[in-house]
A and B are shown apart, each in its own frame.
Chain A
C-alpha cells in the first residue's frame, strides 16, 4: 500500500477508465475521489455502482458533470439527471438485479467465471443469457464483473491499509475492493496499526493499492 494525495491518485485514472465505486445511495462513497474526478474532468467513464445516487451526492456528482458514458447499476430512479442522460442515449445503461450485481463482482474478485442465480429466470433479465438446470431447477449464468479501478470508502484504515467499515456504509465496498486491478481507498480515520483488531479487519491490507492521505 502506498499513501498518496487525492490529486495524485486521480491523475493515475485515465479518461474512459472502468471504475467501480462503493456506496448505496451515496452512503459509503469516496466523496473526495469523486470530487477530484470532476475537478480533473475524467470523461467517458465506464461506471459500476449500485445506483446513481442523487444529484450532488456520491456518484451523482459524476452525472452532474456528464463524465459517465456507460453505467452498470441496479437502480437509477432517484437521480433525474442519470435518467435524462439514459433517455437521451448519452449513457449506455445496463440494469442488473442487486443480488446478481454483487455476486458478479464477488465472482470477479474471487477468480470465478460467474455465478448461477435463479433471479431473473423468465424475465427480461434472462434475454441473451445461458440458462442452466441444476437438479431440475433453472438458473441464469451471470458472468463475473471486474474493473480497472475500485474506489472504496472505509471508516477506519490503518497505516498498512487494513480497513473496517461503519454501519450501512459498508455495502459494496469490501466486495469491490477485491474486484479491480487497482484499489484506491479514502477513510474517515487513518489510525496506527493495531487499532483495528484482527477480528475486525474486513478488507485485509494487501488488497489496498493506494490510501488517500487525510488533511
Chain B
C-alpha cells in the first residue's frame, strides 16, 4: 500500500462522530477520503467554511467556493460559512476537536516544526501556528523519514511551529504518542518490526512491552 494511504487510513480512525476537524494540505487532505460514510464529521476549511465536500464534478465548480489552497470544493448539506475572524476564533478558541497537519520534524517531546526551512523555503506559516496552539488535539501525519533521514528527531533544528506539543504522530511506519511528554511507540505499520522503526528513528522512543500492529 502507498505510504501516504497507510498514514491517511490510520489517521481517519482517530476521528469520532461529531468532531470538528481541520485538515492541512498534503497527506492530511487525504484523510477525508477514508472516513466511514456513517461517521458524522464536520470538516473546516480555514478560509471560512464548515461542511466541506468533495471536489465538484467538472463544470459544477463555483469561484466563491474554495479550499484554503484556492481550489474548488463543494459544501455538504448543513454547511456554514463565516469570516476569517470567526474561523480562527474556532481554531484558537479550542472549538476544533482535531487538526491533522503535515510535518518537517517532530522532536522527542512532541514539538513540531512544519513551516519553514531557513534559506530554502520561507512560504509563511499560514494557519499552522494557530492550529497547533489552539486545536483540542493535534495529529501530525507525515512520512517517518525523508531521504533516509529521520523526521522524528531528538531536537528540532528547524523553527518551531508552537511551544505546545502535538498529541500524536502517524507515519508510514509507526504511531507515536507523547502522553507523558516523552515519545512513546504505540503501534507499528503492517509488516514493520519494532527494530526497523527504532533503526530509522533519531529520537529516543519509549517502547512498551506490547506494540500492536496499526489497524488500517
Contacts and interface: CB of A to CB of B under 8 A. Distances in A.
Interface in A94-112: 95, 97-100, 102-103, 106
Contact of B49 (A28, A78, A165, A168): A168
A100 B83 CA distance: 14
A98 B46 contact: yes
A47 to B, nearest CB: 14
5 contacts: A54-B70, A75-B125, A98-B88, A167-B75, A169-B63
A74 B125 contact: yes
Interface residues of B, number: 41
B24 interface: no
Nearest to A173: B83
B47 A27 contact: yes
A74 B127 CA distance: 8
A182 interface: no
B82 A170 contact: yes
Interface of B: 45-49, 62-66, 68-70, 75, 81-85, 87-88, 91-92, 121-130, 133-134, 159-164
B159 A123 contact: yes
A168 B92 contact: no
Interface stretch (A6-14, A113-121, A143-151, A192-200): A113-121
Interface of A: 24-28, 50-51, 53-54, 73-78, 83, 86, 95, 97-100, 102-103, 106, 117-125, 155, 165-175, 202
Contacts of B130: 97-100, 119
A122 B159 contact: no
A118 B84 contact: no
Contacts of B62: 167
Contacts of A122: 160, 162-163
